[in-house]
Amino acid sequence: MAALKEIAADMRELCPAALLIQYANPMSINCWASTELGVETVGLCHSVQHTSKMLARELDVPYEEVTFDSAGVNHTAWFTTFRRGSQDLLPRIREVMTARHLEAAATGLASDELYAGGNERVRTELMRLTGYFHTESSHHASEYWPWFRKDAALVGEYLPARWDYYEICSAHSPDHNVDDYVDGSVRDGLHPSEEYGAYIIDSAVTGTRRVIYGNVANRGLVDNLPADCCVEVACVVDRLGVRPVRYGSLPAACAALNTVQVNVQRLAVRAALDGDRDLVYAAVALDPLSGALLTLPRIREMVDRMFAAERPWLGDLA
């Protein structure tokens, strides 16, 4: 947060009308804090793109024929419509994902042993709870709730394949030969990935209208989430910048789960901006996974150890 405060101070002085494009986690907390610091920002994730494509593959429908609505909080947003033309695909999503990832597990085999598409048991359980499919991967989703990581055996049951983000990122590296990678890009041309950042910049320069999903200040976009929190919703981008689209109200169970995360985020933002260490303990204690595994004294001990380890980077909280 110390670094974010410095960036915001520089922007307010040097480019007060500029847009801060954020890719750093914790996305919702960073974007919420940036708004509090007086900076216009959008946080970008690829969970909506990845999951919508995955669901189209699961249903064996062409992705270019699919339309959908998604809203919520980053890493815990929800597909509340999913259509192919006039056909509502939500019932098929519920049927197909339940058969492949819950009924498969009930046979005694992990779903990825029965289905080559991989294990999505966590997200399918969340869908059974709320009625709607979760935007973030099962590995990430399992970190936000108290039901999937109570002990090593349960982790192995829900997530049989370990997900190492460092290894995943390393695999994207151009064989550690940056010169060859740059030479190839110069020779073959640059091509945008599915990440939204380049498209936002292109739309701002050329005026090309696009729709992306961004993390922005709520400001009345999602009625049944707090007005000051950060939400992930559809946004129109063009020469006028990033303009969030009002969503309305989330289904009740989806909003309830999002509110749990918003409560944690609110305390974390206030702790960071105000330098209030007591609110750090409260934020960690209210995290559902912390509460599922630890007592309050153990949480305080853990946070103290984290403070000690991270002291050089904590700014006002050190």
Angle value at C-alpha 65, between 62 and 67, nearest 5 degrees: 120
Q: Which two tokens stand for residue 162?
A: 């370990």
- Angstrom distance (rounded) from CA 293 to CA 58: 34
- Angstrom distance (rounded) from CA 134 to CA 73: 10
CA atoms within 13 A on the CB side of 288: 16
Tokens 């945008």 -> residue = 192
Amino acid at 276: D
Helix (H) or strand (E) holding 234: strand 230-238
Look up 191 and say whether it is catalytic: no
CA atoms within 13 A on the CB side of 31: 27
Marked catalytic residue, from 46, 50, 101, 139: 46
Report whether 268 contacts 32 (CB < 8 A): no
What are the C-alpha distances in Å from 57 to residues 54, 60, 76, 133, 254? 5, 5, 21, 15, 24
Phi, psi torsion values for 54, nearest 5 degrees: -60, -45
Phi, psi torsion values for 302, nearest 5 degrees: -60, -45
Report whether 71 contacts 231 (CB < 8 A): yes
- Angstrom distance (rounded) from CA 57 to CA 267: 39
43: which DSSP letter?
E
Report whether 75 contacts 101 (CB < 8 A): no
Catalytic residues: 46
